[in-house]
Amino acid sequence: MPHATSPRNAAAALAEYWSPRIIGELDDSYIKVAKVLGTFGWHSHDDEDELFLILKGQLRIEMDDGEVELAEGEMFVVPRGVRHNPVASAECLLMLIERKSTRHTGNTVTERTRSLAEQMGNG
């Protein structure tokens, strides 16, 4: 039976910050949600764009050539190859849309890096 999904509720239910969960698929992309707080860390995705949509709160995305401040309901696409660092000064819920080939922290491995299995809730 088909059912609707609330990205905001799915993000709010997450127990761990910066640990996205896949809630859907769209062609060759995953739809993910995350609960974030603090600084994620600088990274880039050489071959993939990354869409950030703010479900609740605010997020700043720092980039080498400036930054963008996102409020609830706003979105921004970080173009492929652009080094970026998401920062949330207070708890923020967000939705991400990115190709299935996108690695969580790009070519940078940190304590925040999550495998695809972890993002699917199997890790």
pLDDT of residue 28: 94
pLDDT reported for residue 103: 63
DSSP state of 43: B
What pLDDT does residue 45 have?
Answer: 87
pLDDT tens for 42-66 read 999 899 999 999 999 999 999 999 9
Token code pair at residue 107? 């070519």
The pLDDT of 95-110, averaged and rounded, is 73
- Minimal CA–CA distance to 54: which of 104, 10, 16, 92? 92
Question: Which residue ranges form the domains of the chain, and what is each CATH number?
Answer: 7-119 (2.60.120.10)
What confidence score (pLDDT) does residue 2 get?
85
Distance in angstroms (rounded) separating the CA atoms of residues 102 and 116: 10
For residue 8, the SS3 value is: helix
Nearest to 90 by CA among 38, 18, 52: 38
φ and ψ of 71, to 5 deg:
-105, 170
